[in-house]
Structure 1
Amino acid sequence: MEGYISFLFFLVSSLLLGFILVIFALVWVFHYSDGLGWDGGNPEFNWHPVLIITGFIFIEGIAIIVYRLPWTWKCSKVLMKCIHAGLHLTATVLVVVALVAVFDYHNAKDIPNMYSLHSWVGLTVVILFVLQLVVSIFVYLLPITPISVRAALMPIHVYSGLLLFGGVIATSLMGITEKLIFSLKNPSYSSLPPHGVFVNTLGLLIAVFGGLIIWITTRPGWKRPPEHSNKNQSPFGVTPDGTNDGTATENSNTEKSDMELNSDAARKRNLKLDEAGQRSTM
Protein backbone atom coordinates (compact mmCIF):
# COMPACT_ATOMS: atom_id res chain seq x y z
CA MET A 1 0.00 0.00 0.00
CA GLU A 2 1.23 3.49 -0.85
CA GLY A 3 1.38 5.81 2.16
CA TYR A 4 0.66 3.07 4.70
CA ILE A 5 1.43 5.28 7.73
CA SER A 6 -0.83 8.01 6.38
CA PHE A 7 -3.57 5.44 5.81
CA LEU A 8 -3.29 4.21 9.40
CA PHE A 9 -3.56 7.77 10.68
CA PHE A 10 -6.75 8.46 8.76
CA LEU A 11 -8.20 5.04 9.56
CA VAL A 12 -7.59 5.30 13.32
CA SER A 13 -8.83 8.90 13.30
CA SER A 14 -12.07 7.93 11.56
CA LEU A 15 -12.69 4.98 13.89
CA LEU A 16 -12.07 7.03 17.03
CA LEU A 17 -14.23 9.85 15.70
CA GLY A 18 -17.00 7.38 14.85
CA PHE A 19 -17.08 6.09 18.42
CA ILE A 20 -17.05 9.67 19.70
CA LEU A 21 -20.10 10.44 17.54
CA VAL A 22 -22.05 7.60 19.12
CA ILE A 23 -21.00 8.71 22.61
CA PHE A 24 -21.99 12.31 21.83
CA ALA A 25 -25.39 11.14 20.61
CA LEU A 26 -25.98 9.18 23.83
CA VAL A 27 -24.87 12.13 25.98
CA TRP A 28 -27.21 14.36 24.00
CA VAL A 29 -30.31 12.24 24.63
CA PHE A 30 -29.51 11.21 28.22
CA HIS A 31 -27.98 14.43 29.59
CA TYR A 32 -29.76 17.13 27.60
CA SER A 33 -33.01 15.30 26.82
CA ASP A 34 -35.24 12.61 28.33
CA GLY A 35 -33.26 9.47 27.56
CA LEU A 36 -34.57 6.59 25.49
CA GLY A 37 -37.96 4.90 25.58
CA TRP A 38 -40.89 3.84 23.42
CA ASP A 39 -43.87 5.72 24.78
CA GLY A 40 -44.70 8.16 21.99
CA GLY A 41 -42.87 10.99 23.77
CA ASN A 42 -39.43 12.55 23.57
CA PRO A 43 -37.66 9.34 24.68
CA GLU A 44 -39.06 7.59 21.63
CA PHE A 45 -38.02 10.39 19.30
CA ASN A 46 -34.52 10.25 20.76
CA TRP A 47 -34.02 6.86 19.13
CA HIS A 48 -34.02 8.70 15.81
CA PRO A 49 -30.76 10.66 16.19
CA VAL A 50 -29.02 7.84 18.08
CA LEU A 51 -29.80 5.18 15.48
CA ILE A 52 -29.14 7.46 12.52
CA ILE A 53 -25.72 8.43 13.86
CA THR A 54 -24.88 4.85 14.85
CA GLY A 55 -26.19 3.11 11.75
CA PHE A 56 -26.41 5.52 8.84
CA ILE A 57 -23.21 7.40 9.67
CA PHE A 58 -20.80 5.28 11.74
CA ILE A 59 -21.59 1.74 10.54
CA GLU A 60 -22.22 2.94 7.00
CA GLY A 61 -18.86 4.72 7.01
CA ILE A 62 -17.11 1.51 8.06
CA ALA A 63 -18.95 -0.39 5.32
CA ILE A 64 -17.66 2.07 2.73
CA ILE A 65 -13.98 1.73 3.71
CA VAL A 66 -13.91 -1.98 4.56
CA TYR A 67 -12.34 -2.81 1.16
CA ARG A 68 -9.49 -0.38 1.90
CA LEU A 69 -8.19 -2.38 4.85
CA PRO A 70 -4.93 -3.96 3.62
CA TRP A 71 -5.22 -6.81 6.15
CA THR A 72 -8.25 -8.06 4.22
CA TRP A 73 -6.61 -8.07 0.78
CA LYS A 74 -5.65 -11.72 1.11
CA CYS A 75 -9.19 -12.67 2.07
CA SER A 76 -11.66 -14.02 -0.45
CA LYS A 77 -13.47 -11.28 -2.37
CA VAL A 78 -16.72 -13.16 -1.72
CA LEU A 79 -16.11 -12.97 2.03
CA MET A 80 -15.46 -9.23 1.79
CA LYS A 81 -18.63 -8.77 -0.23
CA CYS A 82 -20.61 -10.54 2.49
CA ILE A 83 -19.07 -8.32 5.19
CA HIS A 84 -19.73 -5.21 3.07
CA ALA A 85 -23.35 -6.20 2.49
CA GLY A 86 -23.82 -7.24 6.12
CA LEU A 87 -22.75 -3.82 7.38
CA HIS A 88 -25.12 -2.15 4.92
CA LEU A 89 -27.98 -4.40 6.05
CA THR A 90 -27.25 -3.61 9.70
CA ALA A 91 -27.33 0.11 8.94
CA THR A 92 -30.60 -0.35 7.05
CA VAL A 93 -32.30 -2.09 9.99
CA LEU A 94 -31.24 0.69 12.37
CA VAL A 95 -32.44 3.36 9.95
CA VAL A 96 -35.85 1.70 9.57
CA VAL A 97 -36.28 1.63 13.36
CA ALA A 98 -35.22 5.29 13.50
CA LEU A 99 -37.88 6.21 10.91
CA VAL A 100 -40.58 4.26 12.75
CA ALA A 101 -39.66 6.09 15.96
CA VAL A 102 -39.92 9.57 14.45
CA PHE A 103 -43.19 8.88 12.59
CA ASP A 104 -44.72 7.31 15.70
CA TYR A 105 -43.64 10.32 17.76
CA HIS A 106 -45.13 12.78 15.26
CA ASN A 107 -48.40 10.89 15.13
CA ALA A 108 -48.63 10.70 18.93
CA LYS A 109 -48.01 14.44 19.24
CA ASP A 110 -50.18 15.42 16.23
CA ILE A 111 -47.12 16.85 14.46
CA PRO A 112 -47.36 16.90 10.64
CA ASN A 113 -45.11 14.48 8.77
CA MET A 114 -42.94 15.13 5.72
CA TYR A 115 -43.20 18.92 5.53
CA SER A 116 -39.56 19.97 6.12
CA LEU A 117 -36.59 19.85 3.77
CA HIS A 118 -34.88 17.57 6.28
CA SER A 119 -37.64 14.99 5.94
CA TRP A 120 -37.77 15.25 2.14
CA VAL A 121 -34.04 14.79 1.66
CA GLY A 122 -33.84 12.18 4.39
CA LEU A 123 -36.57 9.93 3.04
CA THR A 124 -35.20 10.28 -0.49
CA VAL A 125 -31.76 9.17 0.69
CA VAL A 126 -33.21 6.19 2.56
CA ILE A 127 -35.26 5.03 -0.45
CA LEU A 128 -32.31 5.37 -2.83
CA PHE A 129 -30.03 3.64 -0.33
CA VAL A 130 -32.36 0.64 -0.04
CA LEU A 131 -32.72 0.46 -3.83
CA GLN A 132 -28.95 0.50 -4.27
CA LEU A 133 -28.56 -2.20 -1.63
CA VAL A 134 -31.08 -4.51 -3.30
CA VAL A 135 -29.60 -3.98 -6.77
CA SER A 136 -26.06 -4.46 -5.48
CA ILE A 137 -26.96 -7.77 -3.84
CA PHE A 138 -28.28 -9.12 -7.13
CA VAL A 139 -25.44 -7.68 -9.21
CA TYR A 140 -22.38 -8.23 -7.02
CA LEU A 141 -23.22 -10.76 -4.32
CA LEU A 142 -25.24 -13.36 -6.20
CA PRO A 143 -23.36 -15.21 -8.98
CA ILE A 144 -25.91 -14.42 -11.68
CA THR A 145 -24.52 -11.25 -13.31
CA PRO A 146 -21.77 -11.44 -15.96
CA ILE A 147 -18.42 -9.99 -14.93
CA SER A 148 -18.55 -7.48 -17.80
CA VAL A 149 -21.80 -6.03 -16.45
CA ARG A 150 -20.38 -5.84 -12.94
CA ALA A 151 -17.31 -4.00 -14.20
CA ALA A 152 -19.44 -1.54 -16.18
CA LEU A 153 -21.67 -0.78 -13.18
CA MET A 154 -18.88 -0.51 -10.61
CA PRO A 155 -18.10 3.22 -11.18
CA ILE A 156 -21.82 4.01 -10.78
CA HIS A 157 -21.99 1.82 -7.66
CA VAL A 158 -19.05 3.62 -6.04
CA TYR A 159 -20.19 7.10 -7.03
CA SER A 160 -23.79 6.59 -5.89
CA GLY A 161 -22.59 5.13 -2.58
CA LEU A 162 -20.46 8.18 -1.83
CA LEU A 163 -23.21 10.52 -3.03
CA LEU A 164 -25.75 8.89 -0.72
CA PHE A 165 -23.31 8.99 2.18
CA GLY A 166 -22.84 12.70 1.56
CA GLY A 167 -26.63 13.04 1.51
CA VAL A 168 -26.80 11.30 4.90
CA ILE A 169 -24.29 13.77 6.35
CA ALA A 170 -26.20 16.76 4.95
CA THR A 171 -29.55 15.43 6.15
CA SER A 172 -28.19 14.81 9.64
CA LEU A 173 -26.88 18.37 9.90
CA MET A 174 -30.27 19.73 8.77
CA GLY A 175 -32.03 17.51 11.31
CA ILE A 176 -29.78 18.65 14.16
CA THR A 177 -30.44 22.31 13.38
CA GLU A 178 -34.16 21.72 13.05
CA LYS A 179 -34.35 19.85 16.36
CA LEU A 180 -32.44 22.56 18.25
CA ILE A 181 -34.57 25.36 16.84
CA PHE A 182 -37.76 23.60 17.92
CA SER A 183 -36.59 22.37 21.32
CA LEU A 184 -34.47 25.26 22.65
CA LYS A 185 -36.88 27.98 23.71
CA ASN A 186 -35.73 29.03 27.17
CA PRO A 187 -32.87 29.73 26.87
CA SER A 188 -33.18 30.18 23.14
CA TYR A 189 -30.93 28.54 20.58
CA SER A 190 -29.63 31.97 19.52
CA SER A 191 -28.22 32.61 23.02
CA LEU A 192 -25.77 29.69 22.64
CA PRO A 193 -26.77 27.60 25.67
CA PRO A 194 -24.56 24.60 26.58
CA HIS A 195 -27.11 22.27 24.98
CA GLY A 196 -26.86 24.09 21.66
CA VAL A 197 -23.07 24.35 21.76
CA PHE A 198 -22.73 20.64 22.52
CA VAL A 199 -25.00 19.55 19.68
CA ASN A 200 -23.42 22.03 17.26
CA THR A 201 -20.10 20.40 18.10
CA LEU A 202 -21.64 17.03 17.34
CA GLY A 203 -22.66 18.38 13.93
CA LEU A 204 -19.11 19.53 13.19
CA LEU A 205 -17.74 16.13 14.18
CA ILE A 206 -20.24 14.44 11.85
CA ALA A 207 -19.02 16.60 8.97
CA VAL A 208 -15.36 15.81 9.76
CA PHE A 209 -16.13 12.08 9.97
CA GLY A 210 -17.80 12.21 6.57
CA GLY A 211 -14.78 13.99 5.13
CA LEU A 212 -12.41 11.35 6.52
CA ILE A 213 -14.42 8.48 5.07
CA ILE A 214 -14.63 10.09 1.64
CA TRP A 215 -10.89 10.88 1.69
CA ILE A 216 -9.97 7.29 2.54
CA THR A 217 -12.28 5.96 -0.16
CA THR A 218 -11.07 8.22 -2.96
CA ARG A 219 -7.28 7.72 -2.56
CA PRO A 220 -6.13 5.56 -5.54
CA GLY A 221 -3.09 4.25 -3.63
CA TRP A 222 -5.32 2.80 -0.91
CA LYS A 223 -7.51 0.81 -3.26
CA ARG A 224 -7.65 -2.98 -3.08
CA PRO A 225 -5.20 -4.27 -5.73
CA PRO A 226 -6.78 -5.96 -8.77
CA GLU A 227 -4.60 -9.05 -8.43
CA HIS A 228 -6.21 -9.75 -5.07
CA SER A 229 -9.69 -9.01 -6.37
CA ASN A 230 -9.60 -11.94 -8.79
CA LYS A 231 -7.98 -14.62 -6.67
CA ASN A 232 -9.44 -16.79 -3.95
CA GLN A 233 -12.96 -16.12 -5.16
CA SER A 234 -14.05 -19.57 -4.04
CA PRO A 235 -12.61 -23.07 -4.01
CA PHE A 236 -12.62 -25.44 -6.95
CA GLY A 237 -11.87 -22.68 -9.46
CA VAL A 238 -15.32 -21.07 -9.55
CA THR A 239 -15.43 -17.52 -10.85
CA PRO A 240 -17.73 -14.78 -9.46
CA ASP A 241 -20.35 -15.39 -12.15
CA GLY A 242 -20.69 -19.01 -11.11
CA THR A 243 -18.80 -20.51 -14.07
CA ASN A 244 -15.80 -22.79 -13.80
CA ASP A 245 -12.44 -21.12 -14.07
CA GLY A 246 -10.37 -23.27 -16.40
CA THR A 247 -7.10 -21.40 -15.89
CA ALA A 248 -5.67 -23.95 -13.46
CA THR A 249 -6.69 -26.84 -15.70
CA GLU A 250 -5.21 -25.19 -18.76
CA ASN A 251 -1.95 -24.50 -16.94
CA SER A 252 -1.83 -28.09 -15.75
CA ASN A 253 -2.48 -29.40 -19.25
CA THR A 254 0.18 -27.10 -20.67
CA GLU A 255 2.72 -28.30 -18.15
CA LYS A 256 1.86 -31.92 -18.92
CA SER A 257 2.18 -31.29 -22.66
CA ASP A 258 5.57 -29.63 -22.19
CA MET A 259 6.77 -32.52 -20.06
CA GLU A 260 5.63 -35.05 -22.64
CA LEU A 261 7.35 -33.15 -25.48
CA ASN A 262 10.55 -32.88 -23.50
CA SER A 263 10.40 -36.58 -22.68
CA ASP A 264 9.89 -37.51 -26.36
CA ALA A 265 12.76 -35.26 -27.43
CA ALA A 266 15.02 -36.81 -24.80
CA ARG A 267 14.15 -40.33 -25.97
CA LYS A 268 14.87 -39.40 -29.59
CA ARG A 269 18.23 -37.92 -28.62
CA ASN A 270 19.10 -41.03 -26.67
CA LEU A 271 18.19 -43.26 -29.63
CA LYS A 272 20.36 -41.19 -31.97
CA LEU A 273 23.27 -41.37 -29.54
CA ASP A 274 22.87 -45.12 -29.22
CA GLU A 275 22.77 -45.56 -33.02
CA ALA A 276 25.83 -43.34 -33.40
CA GLY A 277 27.65 -45.31 -30.75
CA GLN A 278 26.81 -48.64 -32.36
CA ARG A 279 28.05 -47.41 -35.76
CA SER A 280 31.31 -46.18 -34.29
CA THR A 281 32.02 -49.62 -32.74
CA MET A 282 31.32 -51.53 -35.92
Structure 2
Amino acid sequence: MKATRIGALSDDGPQPKPHLGEGPATLGCAHVTAASEQHRIDAVAWARHGEEIHQLILRDTAGHGLDRFEVPTRSEAWVRVLTHPGKQVALFEYAMDQEGALLLAAWTVDGKLKVRELLGPDDAVCAGFDVAGERLLLLPYPSAPPSPSAHVRVLSWPGLEMEARLEASVVDDQRGWGSAGCIAHDGSLLLTVPGVGLFHIGAEHGHAQPVVLTVPDGASPALLGPDIDEIRHLGERRYAVRSRHQGARLTTEWELN
Protein backbone atom coordinates (compact mmCIF):
# COMPACT_ATOMS: atom_id res chain seq x y z
CA MET A 1 0.00 0.00 0.00
CA LYS A 2 1.16 3.55 -0.74
CA ALA A 3 0.59 6.96 0.80
CA THR A 4 1.43 10.20 -1.00
CA ARG A 5 2.44 13.36 0.79
CA ILE A 6 0.06 16.20 -0.07
CA GLY A 7 1.26 18.90 2.30
CA ALA A 8 3.01 19.95 5.47
CA LEU A 9 1.18 21.03 8.61
CA SER A 10 2.34 23.14 11.51
CA ASP A 11 3.95 21.06 14.21
CA ASP A 12 1.21 20.77 16.83
CA GLY A 13 2.95 18.21 18.98
CA PRO A 14 2.75 18.03 22.76
CA GLN A 15 3.51 21.31 24.49
CA PRO A 16 5.84 21.42 27.50
CA LYS A 17 4.02 20.74 30.73
CA PRO A 18 3.74 23.99 32.72
CA HIS A 19 5.46 24.28 36.06
CA LEU A 20 2.89 23.50 38.73
CA GLY A 21 2.59 25.80 41.70
CA GLU A 22 -0.06 26.27 44.37
CA GLY A 23 -2.58 27.65 41.89
CA PRO A 24 -4.35 25.47 39.29
CA ALA A 25 -2.89 25.28 35.78
CA THR A 26 -4.95 24.07 32.82
CA LEU A 27 -3.34 21.06 31.10
CA GLY A 28 -6.07 20.40 28.54
CA CYS A 29 -9.74 20.96 27.77
CA ALA A 30 -12.64 19.52 25.78
CA HIS A 31 -15.93 20.95 24.53
CA VAL A 32 -18.94 18.65 24.93
CA THR A 33 -22.63 18.99 24.09
CA ALA A 34 -25.60 17.57 25.99
CA ALA A 35 -29.28 18.37 25.34
CA SER A 36 -28.20 21.20 23.00
CA GLU A 37 -26.18 22.81 25.81
CA GLN A 38 -22.46 23.33 25.36
CA HIS A 39 -19.96 22.99 28.19
CA ARG A 40 -16.21 22.95 28.59
CA ILE A 41 -14.33 20.42 30.70
CA ASP A 42 -10.92 21.58 31.90
CA ALA A 43 -8.17 19.27 33.15
CA VAL A 44 -6.32 21.26 35.82
CA ALA A 45 -3.50 20.46 38.23
CA TRP A 46 -1.44 22.06 40.97
CA ALA A 47 1.26 21.07 43.45
CA ARG A 48 0.58 20.43 47.13
CA HIS A 49 3.16 19.10 49.62
CA GLY A 50 5.24 17.54 46.87
CA GLU A 51 2.28 15.84 45.18
CA GLU A 52 0.32 16.70 42.06
CA ILE A 53 -3.41 17.27 42.49
CA HIS A 54 -5.49 16.73 39.34
CA GLN A 55 -9.12 17.72 38.80
CA LEU A 56 -11.66 17.91 36.01
CA ILE A 57 -13.76 21.09 36.13
CA LEU A 58 -17.03 21.57 34.26
CA ARG A 59 -17.63 25.12 33.04
CA ASP A 60 -20.44 26.87 31.20
CA THR A 61 -19.92 28.97 28.07
CA ALA A 62 -19.06 32.00 30.23
CA GLY A 63 -16.31 30.06 32.00
CA HIS A 64 -18.09 29.71 35.34
CA GLY A 65 -17.33 26.53 37.28
CA LEU A 66 -20.36 24.25 37.64
CA ASP A 67 -18.95 21.00 38.98
CA ARG A 68 -15.63 19.24 39.59
CA PHE A 69 -14.11 15.79 39.95
CA GLU A 70 -10.85 14.90 41.70
CA VAL A 71 -8.78 12.53 39.59
CA PRO A 72 -7.56 9.54 41.65
CA THR A 73 -3.83 10.06 41.15
CA ARG A 74 -1.07 11.80 43.08
CA SER A 75 1.61 10.96 40.53
CA GLU A 76 3.22 13.34 38.08
CA ALA A 77 1.09 12.97 34.97
CA TRP A 78 0.82 14.22 31.42
CA VAL A 79 -2.74 14.79 30.22
CA ARG A 80 -4.05 14.07 26.73
CA VAL A 81 -7.61 14.86 25.64
CA LEU A 82 -9.66 13.02 23.01
CA THR A 83 -13.22 13.99 22.06
CA HIS A 84 -15.80 11.52 20.77
CA PRO A 85 -16.94 12.30 17.18
CA GLY A 86 -20.44 12.94 18.53
CA LYS A 87 -19.04 15.62 20.91
CA GLN A 88 -21.05 14.15 23.80
CA VAL A 89 -18.16 12.64 25.75
CA ALA A 90 -14.46 13.36 26.14
CA LEU A 91 -11.63 11.07 27.17
CA PHE A 92 -8.89 12.30 29.50
CA GLU A 93 -5.75 10.17 29.57
CA TYR A 94 -3.27 10.60 32.42
CA ALA A 95 0.14 9.12 31.55
CA MET A 96 2.04 8.42 34.78
CA ASP A 97 5.50 7.26 33.69
CA GLN A 98 6.16 3.76 35.04
CA GLU A 99 2.68 3.48 36.57
CA GLY A 100 0.98 3.30 33.18
CA ALA A 101 -1.99 5.38 32.09
CA LEU A 102 -5.35 6.22 33.64
CA LEU A 103 -8.18 6.74 31.13
CA LEU A 104 -11.34 8.60 32.16
CA ALA A 105 -14.53 9.34 30.21
CA ALA A 106 -16.31 12.60 31.13
CA TRP A 107 -19.70 13.97 30.07
CA THR A 108 -22.50 16.12 31.45
CA VAL A 109 -26.04 15.43 32.67
CA ASP A 110 -28.28 18.33 33.75
CA GLY A 111 -25.30 20.58 34.31
CA LYS A 112 -23.44 18.00 36.42
CA LEU A 113 -20.13 16.37 35.56
CA LYS A 114 -20.17 12.59 35.19
CA VAL A 115 -16.89 10.65 35.11
CA ARG A 116 -16.25 6.97 34.44
CA GLU A 117 -12.90 5.23 34.82
CA LEU A 118 -12.31 3.16 31.69
CA LEU A 119 -8.78 1.90 32.25
CA GLY A 120 -6.35 2.40 34.98
CA PRO A 121 -3.69 2.22 35.63
CA ASP A 122 -3.14 0.17 32.47
CA ASP A 123 -0.24 -0.67 30.18
CA ALA A 124 -2.02 0.93 27.23
CA VAL A 125 -2.62 4.35 25.70
CA CYS A 126 -5.72 5.44 23.82
CA ALA A 127 -5.25 6.26 20.13
CA GLY A 128 -8.80 7.46 19.58
CA PHE A 129 -12.11 6.51 17.98
CA ASP A 130 -13.08 5.37 14.53
CA VAL A 131 -15.00 7.77 12.27
CA ALA A 132 -18.40 6.58 13.51
CA GLY A 133 -17.36 6.68 17.16
CA GLU A 134 -18.24 3.00 17.62
CA ARG A 135 -14.76 1.59 18.26
CA LEU A 136 -11.77 2.59 20.37
CA LEU A 137 -8.12 1.78 19.63
CA LEU A 138 -5.69 1.01 22.46
CA LEU A 139 -1.94 0.83 21.84
CA PRO A 140 0.90 -0.43 24.06
CA TYR A 141 2.10 2.00 26.71
CA PRO A 142 5.49 3.43 25.63
CA SER A 143 8.42 1.44 26.97
CA ALA A 144 12.11 1.31 26.21
CA PRO A 145 12.71 -0.92 24.44
CA PRO A 146 9.22 -1.81 23.12
CA SER A 147 8.03 -5.22 24.27
CA PRO A 148 7.26 -7.85 21.60
CA SER A 149 4.60 -9.28 23.95
CA ALA A 150 2.63 -6.01 24.04
CA HIS A 151 -0.56 -6.04 22.01
CA VAL A 152 -2.99 -3.72 20.25
CA ARG A 153 -6.65 -3.83 21.25
CA VAL A 154 -9.79 -2.68 19.43
CA LEU A 155 -12.76 -2.22 21.79
CA SER A 156 -16.40 -1.49 21.08
CA TRP A 157 -17.81 1.82 22.28
CA PRO A 158 -19.37 2.41 24.73
CA GLY A 159 -19.50 -1.24 25.82
CA LEU A 160 -15.68 -1.70 25.75
CA GLU A 161 -16.02 -5.29 24.54
CA MET A 162 -12.93 -6.78 22.90
CA GLU A 163 -13.30 -6.84 19.10
CA ALA A 164 -9.69 -7.56 18.16
CA ARG A 165 -6.35 -8.22 19.83
CA LEU A 166 -3.21 -8.03 17.69
CA GLU A 167 0.24 -9.30 18.55
CA ALA A 168 3.32 -7.95 16.78
CA SER A 169 3.66 -11.34 15.08
CA VAL A 170 1.07 -10.04 12.59
CA VAL A 171 3.93 -8.14 10.95
CA ASP A 172 6.49 -10.84 11.80
CA ASP A 173 8.56 -8.45 13.90
CA GLN A 174 10.08 -8.97 17.34
CA ARG A 175 10.35 -5.29 18.17
CA GLY A 176 6.72 -4.94 19.18
CA TRP A 177 4.14 -2.31 18.32
CA GLY A 178 4.78 1.40 18.67
CA SER A 179 2.55 3.83 20.56
CA ALA A 180 1.24 5.61 17.43
CA GLY A 181 -1.67 4.49 15.27
CA CYS A 182 -5.29 5.07 14.33
CA ILE A 183 -8.41 3.40 12.97
CA ALA A 184 -8.52 4.21 9.26
CA HIS A 185 -11.48 5.53 7.29
CA ASP A 186 -12.53 2.02 6.19
CA GLY A 187 -12.19 0.31 9.58
CA SER A 188 -8.68 -0.98 8.95
CA LEU A 189 -5.75 0.00 11.17
CA LEU A 190 -2.62 2.08 10.67
CA LEU A 191 0.02 0.96 13.18
CA THR A 192 3.73 1.52 13.67
CA VAL A 193 6.73 -0.65 14.51
CA PRO A 194 9.52 1.44 16.12
CA GLY A 195 12.58 1.71 13.92
CA VAL A 196 10.74 0.12 10.96
CA GLY A 197 7.82 2.30 9.91
CA LEU A 198 4.11 2.30 9.18
CA PHE A 199 1.90 -0.75 8.51
CA HIS A 200 -1.64 -1.13 7.20
CA ILE A 201 -3.70 -3.88 8.86
CA GLY A 202 -6.77 -4.97 6.89
CA ALA A 203 -10.27 -4.60 8.31
CA GLU A 204 -10.29 -8.32 9.18
CA HIS A 205 -7.07 -7.70 11.19
CA GLY A 206 -5.37 -10.75 9.74
CA HIS A 207 -3.24 -9.27 6.95
CA ALA A 208 -0.53 -6.63 7.31
CA GLN A 209 1.45 -4.78 4.68
CA PRO A 210 3.97 -1.94 4.94
CA VAL A 211 2.86 1.51 3.81
CA VAL A 212 5.25 2.97 1.23
CA LEU A 213 5.39 6.74 1.68
CA THR A 214 6.05 8.66 -1.53
CA VAL A 215 6.66 12.31 -2.40
CA PRO A 216 5.28 13.84 -5.64
CA ASP A 217 7.81 14.93 -8.28
CA GLY A 218 9.10 18.41 -7.60
CA ALA A 219 8.05 18.41 -3.96
CA SER A 220 10.53 18.95 -1.16
CA PRO A 221 11.76 15.75 0.50
CA ALA A 222 9.46 14.35 3.14
CA LEU A 223 10.75 14.39 6.67
CA LEU A 224 9.31 11.06 7.74
CA GLY A 225 11.67 8.58 9.27
CA PRO A 226 10.78 5.37 11.10
CA ASP A 227 10.13 7.23 14.38
CA ILE A 228 6.45 8.17 14.17
CA ASP A 229 4.92 9.84 17.23
CA GLU A 230 1.30 10.25 16.17
CA ILE A 231 -1.16 9.47 13.36
CA ARG A 232 -4.48 11.31 13.06
CA HIS A 233 -7.32 10.77 10.60
CA LEU A 234 -8.22 14.12 9.00
CA GLY A 235 -11.14 12.94 6.85
CA GLU A 236 -11.72 10.75 3.80
CA ARG A 237 -8.33 9.13 3.00
CA ARG A 238 -6.20 11.93 4.50
CA TYR A 239 -3.99 11.52 7.57
CA ALA A 240 -1.62 13.67 9.59
CA VAL A 241 1.64 11.99 10.60
CA ARG A 242 3.95 13.54 13.19
CA SER A 243 7.46 12.10 13.11
CA ARG A 244 11.03 12.62 14.27
CA HIS A 245 14.12 12.28 12.10
CA GLN A 246 17.71 13.27 12.91
CA GLY A 247 16.59 15.52 15.75
CA ALA A 248 13.94 17.35 13.70
CA ARG A 249 10.16 17.10 14.04
CA LEU A 250 7.47 17.75 11.44
CA THR A 251 3.79 17.05 10.91
CA THR A 252 2.92 16.18 7.32
CA GLU A 253 -0.35 15.38 5.56
CA TRP A 254 -0.70 12.17 3.53
CA GLU A 255 -3.32 10.56 1.34
CA LEU A 256 -3.71 6.78 1.47
CA ASN A 257 -3.76 5.35 -2.07
Normalising by structure 1, report the TM-score: 0.22
Q: Name which structure has the greater RCO, CA cutoff 8 Å, separation 6+.
A: 1
| Structure-2-length-normalised TM-score | 0.24
In proportion to residue count, which structure has more helix? 1
**Structure whose alpha-carbon radius of gyration is higher:** 1
